[in-house]
Chain A
Amino acid sequence: MSVFDRDPDDQIQVLDADGELVGDLPDLSDSELVALYRHMRLARHFDERAVNLQRQGRMGTYPPLAGQEAAQVGSAMALDDGDWIAPSYREHAAVHVHGLSLSDILLYWMGHGAGGWDTDANVLPAAVPIATQIPHTTGLALASKLRGEDSESPRQTGNAGDAVACAYFGDGATSEGDFHEGLNMAGVFDVPAVFVCNNNGWAISVPRERQTASPTLAGKAAAYGIDGVQVDGMDPLATYAVTRAAVEKARTPGDRSRPTLIEAVQYRFGAHTTADDPTVYRDEAEVEAWRRRDPIPRLERFLRETGRLDDDRIDDIEASIRTQVTEAIDRAEDTPRPNPDRMFADVYAEQSAELRAQQAYLHRLRDRHGDDAFLKE
């Protein structure tokens, strides 16, 4: 039975909370399965270090992801290189899997504009207003469909016309107009898009029950005439399998609508951002209950019991991700503050006379007073 022929509340699971195989193992090689595990471990460690950097004043406000590793890594691994991601501001793991470097991700949260744009990865910048990336995804997918497979690759995409576009957003985003407008158009135009809702039950302090009276978020897909699937978002094999099925359906026009809304039911262990204190509105017992479904030990148990991982390999992975994250932090922190001229670059393809004048004015001020006169630290 296709993953799409299910009720919206019939949650897909491949591994149960104890790491027992309860569904069909997706078509992943042993090394891909280990890579999935490694990416999740990396994301968890990166996240811990990032929160610490913020606490130490070495980084600005940061939105943690711990708890979402399975949904982000599993889904991103189901995309092909030429596919697109339109992330919210929390998909550090998904965009890293899709090609953004860890140091570029850190630099963005350290207040540099750089944020990964020297790569070839098809990843839009983080969307900070809620749900705005959803219509972008529809547009990317519509462009992909209009281009067709045999058209010339556009400069900025590096891929021809069969790319799939994948949006990530939270449960709060499903209340926004852009969610409705984007999914509605995706259905009308039958575009190759996948919409992944990381439903962690909370939009900052407002619970999912106050976002919508719909019994499930996956069920909202019916309103747009597209498939909606609910998956255990803390099961990496299930999120991979569902996303892969959605990507393949998107790429291959057929009887079914090409877009899919995936509701990945999960829990984010930490705060909304480092500026948020969830103890004000969230019960610690709730967090502990969800910790028992933590995706990382769950996959680890499965991989150990099936002989794909052992202590030595896990130690190797642990050591390598620590080195990788430390190196990324060093690289980010060693990156000098951008030249103020950066502010005036890339506002337009060709700088206006007025903008040139304003840039020259800042030059004169810096010459006169020195950069120290401008900087708080």
Chain B
Amino acid sequence: MSTETQNLTLVQAVRDGLRTEMQRDEDVIVLGEDVGKNGGVFRATEGLYEEFGDDRVIDTPLAESGIVGTSIGMAAYGLRPVPEIQFMGFIYPAFDQIVSHAARLRTRTRGRFTCPMVIRAPYGGGIRAPEHHSESKEAFFVHEPGLKVVIPSTPADTKGLLASAIRDPDPVIFLEPKLIYRAFREDVPTGDHTVPLGEAAVRREGSDVSVYTWGAMTRPTMEAADNLAAEGVDCEVIDLRTLSPLDRETIVDSFEKTGRAAVVHEAPRTGGLGGEITAILQEEALLYQEAPIERITGFDTPVPLYALEDYYLPSPTRIEDGIREVVDFP
């Protein structure tokens, strides 16, 4: 692995990851709406069209189901398509293709045909976007066997996880936290760089409470942890990075150390991953539990238009309050 690095934003890391994988493997094909000449509405594919040409970076008609369905056919044929859905809120027309076909092609053909593809989509709120541009519906896909679901929170992880997702033999839903596409920079290894799927990262070690989060919520959670540290509360922050399969070992190990837990996600509460993580802790570490597990989440409402979205998204203040509930119990 290279020791050289580049200082990149998260969205630049997406591009660097795509570019590196396209150079490594000529079967990797990027396709979607505006990904070619325009370089993507978020510039995630900028320069790829010029470098790889219109056989490898394909501007498609505006048709989410068609983009994903076509990618399934390409993957079955032996290519490694990386379709982009412009915003997660537009993924629903492709939902049938993803869950009925991409997720099941391997099972249904006993491994004769597989579906190695990565569906990229920017997800989440906080950028003052119009309706249907702010969704965080990772739970839909986590619920579907046959898929993997990945959400990075740092530029280096973004490149490394994206490379692993593209090399993975199974379909991966790769959700990019667009709120932090350009929020900060980080040194990212140049050239070949992978981060394994299925492994959570401990972003902050602590002894009082385990706080589980991912994607765009990692930063407000870290901010809350810093603020609580000043009050003498020592948070351990776990960035799950891969939501399917979940890294149960890291989740449980941390809880066995702290005995207390909170989950932070911006997705709606009901049926969200917070419930799944709580269930894992109940099943595997009940006797370590010293307080009810707190969920700090979006509300069970459609993501509001931006005049209200700051109330909807978990803020450092809300996260701090939730964590205090856990550490102050009983």
Q: Could you tell me which A residues sit within 8 Å of B by CB distance?
A: 84, 86, 113-115, 117-118, 124-125, 127-129, 132, 134-144, 146-147, 154-157, 163, 165, 177-178, 180-182, 184-185, 188-189, 345-350, 352-354
Contact = CB atoms under 8 A, between A and B. Distances in A.
B40 interface: no
A124 B61 contact: no
A135 B66 contact: yes
Contacts of B68: 135
Contacts of B65: 135, 177-178, 181
Contacts of B232: none
B254 interface: no
Given A132-B96, A146-B55, A345 B110 contact: yes
Interface stretch (B5-13, B101-109, B297-305): B101-109
B71 interface: yes
Contacts of B74: 139-140, 142-143, 146
- By CB atoms of chain A within 10 A, which of B61, B169, B246 has the most? B61
Interface stretch (B76-84, B120-128, B210-218, B288-296): B76-84
Contact of A185 (B60, B113, B146, B169): B60
A156 B78 contact: yes
Contacts of B96: 129, 132, 178
A125 B55 CA distance: 28
A136 B76 contact: yes
A318 B212 CA distance: 68
Interface of B: 29, 55, 58, 60-61, 63, 65-66, 68-79, 81, 93, 96-97, 100-101, 105-114, 145-146, 148, 168-170, 198, 245-246, 248-249
Nearest to A167: B73
B145 to A, nearest CB: 5
A84 to B, nearest CB: 8
A135 B112 contact: no
Contact of B66 (A115, A155, A184, A349): A184
A143 B66 contact: no
Contact of A184 (B58, B61, B148, B248): B61
Contacts of B113: 124-125, 156
A138 B70 contact: yes
A181 B62 CA distance: 9
Contact of B73 (A137, A181, A354): A137
Nearest to B79: A143
Contact of B111 (A128, A136, A157, A346): A346
Given A125-B108, A125-B109, A188-B61, A349 B70 contact: no
A226 B191 CA distance: 43
Nearest to B117: A139
Contacts of B69: 132, 134-136, 138-139, 178, 181-182
Would you list the 3 A-B pairs with minimal beta carbon distance, nearest first? A139-B73, A135-B69, A154-B78
A165 B170 contact: no
Contact of A143 (B60, B63, B78): B78
Given A134-B69, A142-B74, A346-B111, 13 more contacts: A113-B107, A118-B110, A125-B108, A139-B72, A146-B29, A156-B112, A165-B73, A178-B66, A180-B63, A181-B63, A182-B70, A184-B66, A185-B70
Contacts of B60: 185, 188
B146 to A, nearest CB: 6
9 contacts: A132-B97, A136-B69, A139-B73, A147-B78, A154-B78, A177-B63, A178-B97, A184-B63, A185-B70
Nearest to A349: B169
B112 A117 contact: yes
A348 B76 contact: no
Contacts of B106: 346-349
Nearest to A143: B77
A147 B93 CA distance: 28
Contacts of A155: 78
- By CB atoms of chain A within 10 A, which of B110, B169, B248, B249 has the most? B110
Nearest to B73: A139
A140 B76 contact: yes
B78 A135 contact: no
Contacts of B58: 189
Nearest to B111: A346
Contacts of A137: 73
A323 B108 CA distance: 29
A140 B77 contact: yes
Nearest to A357: B248
Given A142-B74, A348-B170, A353 B248 contact: yes
A144 B72 contact: no
- By CB atoms of chain B within 10 A, which of A136, A345, A352 has the most? A136
Contacts of B29: 146
Contacts of A117: 109-112
Contacts of A115: 108
Contacts of B61: 181, 184-185, 188
